[in-house]
Amino acid sequence: MNDKVNINWNLDNTYTDLSKMFYSNIDLDPVSSPTLVVLNEELANNLGIDIKSLKTKEGLEILSGNKTIENGSYIAQAYAGHQFGNFTILGDGRASLIGEIITPSGNKYDISLKGSGKTPYSRGGDGRAVLGPMLREYIISEAMNELNIPTTRSLAVVKTGEKVYREDTKHQCRIYGSLSKNNLLPWA
């Protein structure tokens, strides 16, 4: 299903210039019926992304990971750290970096899909996300941005039409599109 779409996003893929130990190429898991829940129109405009195109069926297919952008990289980033007292190689278990979008003003931001499916770093998880945490992340990241606290930004939340299980409860599955200034993010 992952058809490539030629869309007018000014993308770069410098992360793939690094050694393969820093990322893995991935194929996205298509979803059954994507529906737009929320779109950050102000952010899309600042990025130079046509808002009307994001609201089309094709735009929704891109935001859900059903179709890929022709010049997108679609990788899961690897990273390492100490977990439970041991050095561990980890990575994005449910996020796909599409690439770095270059804005009309020349700034560069990573653009990724969170909840877009399993990656080599999923460690047994399903790679999906549920609505509550995605909306909470959307609201909090935008509040932090308004307070001038550097953080990721939220481009969109997409309902997938699929169910996921968390703690013995069935939830609607969601995908979250996010932006960050660079590949190194502070995580709590």
- pLDDT at position 63, please? 92
Span 43-80, pLDDT tens digits? 999 999 999 989 999 999 999 999 998 889 999 999 88
Among 3-7, 90-94, 183-187, the range of highest mean pLDDT = 90-94
Q: Report the predicted TM-score, pTM, of the whole model to 2 decimal places.
A: 0.82
CA distance linking residue 38 with residue 159, whole number of Å: 9
pLDDT digits (tens, 9 = 90+) for 26-42: 988 899 999 999 999 99
Would strands 169-180 and 129-130 be described as parallel, antiparallel, or unpaired?
antiparallel
Alpha-carbon distance values, 139 to 20, 80, 153 (Å)? 34, 28, 10
Helix (H) or strand (E) holding 44: helix 41-47
pLDDT in tens, 130-181: 888 889 999 999 999 999 999 889 999 999 888 877 776 666 665 666 666 6
Domain boundaries, the chain: 3-180
Q: In this model, does residue 8 exceed pLDDT 60?
A: yes
Q: Alpha-carbon distance 142 to 159, whole Å? A: 20
